[in-house]
């Protein structure tokens, strides 16, 4: 897992990207949540779903802008608006 994470981080660094919204993640690529934005209510909701800084996250699929992601051994569907608040 650490090797996959290092490879994913290298790809983003080579592209000159340090942080980006989850909406730009490549499906199947392992990423780390660096920040969760939004108002306190939204942040609390996302944290309750497992979207916490430092947690590994993988986009499984995108459907009409919405996303299915794997976070903390669970699959979660989130809207594109929520995904924009999760920075990887």
CA dihedral 74, 28, 13, 87 (to 10 degrees): -40
Determine the distance from the C-alpha atom of residue 20 to the mean position of all C-alpha atoms in its chain, rounded to a whole number: 9
pTM: 0.79
As a whole number of Å, the end-to-end CA separation of the chain is 17
Provide the pLDDT for residue 7. Answer: 54
Nearest one of 23, 9, 39, 30 to 87, comparing CA atoms: 23
pLDDT tens string 35-88: 999 999 999 999 999 999 999 999 999 998 899 999 999 999 999 999 999 999
Domains of the chain: 2-87 (2.30.30.90)
Provide the pLDDT for residue 14. Answer: 53
> What is the rounded distance in angstroms from the CA atom of residue 22 to the CA atom of residue 24?
5
Between 17 and 77, the more confident residue is: 77
9, pLDDT greater than 60: no
């Amino acid at each position: 897992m650490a090797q996959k994470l290092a490879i994913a981080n290298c790809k983003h660094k080579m592209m000159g990207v340090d942080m980006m919204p989850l909406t730009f993640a490549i499906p199947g690529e392992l990423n780390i949540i660096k920040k969760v934005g939004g108002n306190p209510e939204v942040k609390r909701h996302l944290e309750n779903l497992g979207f916490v800084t430092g947690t590994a996250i993988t986009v499984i699929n995108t459907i009409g802008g919405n996303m299915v992601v794997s976070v903390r051994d669970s699959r979660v569907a989130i809207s594109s608006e929520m995904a924009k608040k999760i920075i990887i």
